[in-house]
Amino acid sequence: MKKTNITQSNNNNTGSRNLGRMIMQLRRLERKPHTFGSAGPLTPSEIHTIEAVGSEGTVLMSELAGRLGITKGAVTQLITRLEAKELVERSPHPTDSRVTLISLTEKGKEANAAHEEVHHQFYDQLRTQLTEQEIEIFEKCIAKLNSFLEK
């Protein structure tokens, strides 16, 4: 019985260390700009804002803040930066002057498509390392970890 507890403890420590290393890698990546199409270098928060706006239609500024899980002030700062880079545009709501609509420009749509391609390449690379079953398990684990961290 003790052997099982020691093994389980070692596995938990290894998992904890690996999770810690992964978090550090994600923090490093979060600070590193990446180029998506002709958009030039974009931070992860900028490209994920573009992704949250989406290539189809428009989104309310307040809805965008909700999608990203950030304040309206933070989303305003992001949109201002993306607008300066000509990736998004603001427009007034047709019936409510208090509301601002956000949409992607053609350059923003190109950046979004390039970002999607990065995700496709990631999964193509993952498929060379893992079976489809392992990928399903990976995705379930990531979803559970996200749910746990949101608490």
The per-residue pLDDT for range 31-46, each reduced to its tens digit, is 788 899 888 899 989 9
| Band of pLDDT at residue 11, cut at 50, 70 and 90 | low
- Strands 34-35 and 100-104, sheet pairing: unpaired
Measured CA to CA, the distance from residue 7 to residue 4 in angstroms comes to: 5
Give per-residue pLDDT as tens, 71-106: 999 999 999 999 999 999 999 999 998 889 999 999
Q: Which residues contact 58 (CB under 8 A, 6 or more apart)?
A: 91, 101, 102, 103
Work out the mean pLDDT of the chain and round it to a whole number. 87
pTM: 0.75
